[in-house]
Chains A and B, each alone.
Chain A
């Protein structure tokens, strides 16, 4: 099937009325949840994911992708209006986006971000459509040792890039992987670590754990302070049109940001933060006459990073769809949703379920258009959402989360897990423990175990198989680099090595 006919078949799936509705509802509900400060993309996805699991697989995944996009868009809205990043990828936007808004140009900033996100999303989806068949073919040469090494590489890069203490991150990753082994052994079918209880035999499902650690712990934060959600100034529709000068400065940054985001998203590791900082750095480096505006409301300072953030969101799906391995917690949730829907992502997904893959890609495009067409006129609504009394919002989000989790397996155990993870996440985050590695460990754990056991069967217990197969050897090499390089850099820096070779900024 050539690319055009594949895309056409994808649009046939995505343009089914129920799928268009799913994309639109997902984008809108995702934005509404993403706008609420604190919940973030992961919290929004975790809260709404249980609902999508009751829809048909394609429709459910399309809605979840819409939620993903919508929540990201909502995150940038609060970054601009309130200087509160909805997620890590919006941190850079708070610098110049908020300052730009303070000049009375909040509407124009939102419009530039929305158009930039649309362009970046389009570029990234086109790139994804071109790359995916190629990568899926390449992934067919992957076997258990490669998947095992890739799972380790994904985990290591997340821990190294997120900026927290890597040893603490490693411990949390192992906690997540350990939780994943509790219950039924996915390979052999026997039960483990259950202490004879039926509850533990059910294991720790991704949704209650992620929802507890992110969504519920954020709600506890809101409740314990009673500060409520901050208030934003209203944005009028007529103030949303940027001037010609603002456009002419924004579009080159958007194009550059789209390219940077797309390519960084293809690499293992959480690309969102990396790509936005890379885009910001490049824009600042390229700026000539407006250099002094950076940090005080430069258009390029938020147009480029927002585009990069949106592009990375799409291209980060490549490893999930082609290899079945996620490198970020957000994408891990998408992977979890696919698995719950009975779809196994990986090299065979494109050939076995092209309707899912191409339908998802086409629906992303529709979701992008929906964000542009619906969300900009609705920006006033999003601002008003922040004015809904806290007593209505907090209780409602709690109950939707509880019911959503309960309906997945009709299990009280999942509610116990949800509340326990909520409180554990609340306190551990205050102590500086990062929850992202735990969530990723919960998803990567079964992939790692299955591929490791298959590898050991394949090699008769000989671990040298990891370095005797070319692709696996490269991945193991990258693992070593991911593990050692930051330490080596830190060591060289401590010894003053950089000061001799690199001039101070």
Chain B
């Protein structure tokens, strides 16, 4: 089994620095909001307090960043190359879900998403597709027919239906 690389103190420091940088941008934006009279009573007051403290604590964490220490395969280690590839694939699938949902609708998008997920989990094609179509339809029935919610039917299918 591939040995997982430990997350180093420097890498935690980089993550803390990124969070601090976001805090700095947030604080800079907060300075553009009215603080009000008495001071702090308008919409810029609280963000200013939050932003300044965010940056101060962020700088402290960046400087003192404690190494998480490799505890198991969940904390303190980076994913292996194979794990990272799977994560990238999941990220791509999540992105595809957002893009496809308005076009293909809930059933078709969920079917494709679950089939891809099942394949990633090592299921054979036929089983993946069979389980995914049953589940996609079941979820549609649950949310739309039982809970009476509105879900996208898909512009593509709407266009087919209405010409």
List the interface of chain A (C-beta within 8 A of B). Answer: 51, 54, 165, 167-168, 170-171, 174-175, 177-178, 181, 185, 187-188, 190, 192-193, 220-221, 223-226, 228, 389-392, 394-396, 398-400, 402-403, 406-407, 410, 412, 415-416, 419, 422-423, 426-433, 445, 448-449, 452-453, 456-457, 459-462
Contacts and interface: CB of A to CB of B under 8 A. Distances in A.
B143 to A, nearest CB: 6
B39 A456 contact: yes
Contact of B110 (A221, A389, A399, A429): A399
B57 A391 contact: no
Contact of A168 (B30, B61, B73, B102): B61
A456 to B, nearest CB: 4
Given A226-B86, A431-B12, A456-B40, A415 B97 contact: yes
A310 B139 CA distance: 32
A432 B12 contact: yes
A461 B143 contact: no
Contacts of B131: 391-392, 395
Contact of A407 (B33, B58, B149): B149
A452 B41 CA distance: 8
Contacts of A431: 7, 11-12, 15, 68
Interface residues of B, number: 79
Contact of A433 (B15, B139, B149): B15
A167 B60 contact: yes
A220 B87 contact: yes
Contacts of B57: 167, 170-171, 174
Given A174-B50, A431-B15, A391 B121 contact: yes
26 contacts: A54-B149, A188-B43, A192-B33, A192-B43, A389-B121, A390-B121, A391-B121, A391-B128, A395-B117, A395-B118, A395-B131, A396-B114, A403-B106, A403-B139, A419-B94, A428-B15, A432-B7, A432-B68, A432-B69, A433-B15, A453-B41, A456-B36, A456-B39, A456-B40, A456-B45, A459-B38
Interface string B113-132: 11001111111000110011
B62 to A, nearest CB: 10
Which residue, of B39, B87, B102, has the highest number of chain A Cβ atoms within 10 A? Answer: B87
Nearest to B135: A396
B47 A453 contact: no
Question: Which 8 residue pairs are nearest across A and B when measured between Cβ atoms?
Answer: A461-B38, A432-B68, A395-B114, A391-B121, A391-B118, A395-B117, A391-B123, A174-B54
B147 interface: yes
Given A175-B54, A193-B26, A422-B94, 15 more contacts: A167-B61, A171-B58, A175-B23, A181-B46, A224-B87, A395-B121, A395-B131, A399-B135, A403-B151, A407-B151, A419-B91, A430-B78, A432-B12, A452-B40, A456-B40
A391 B40 contact: no
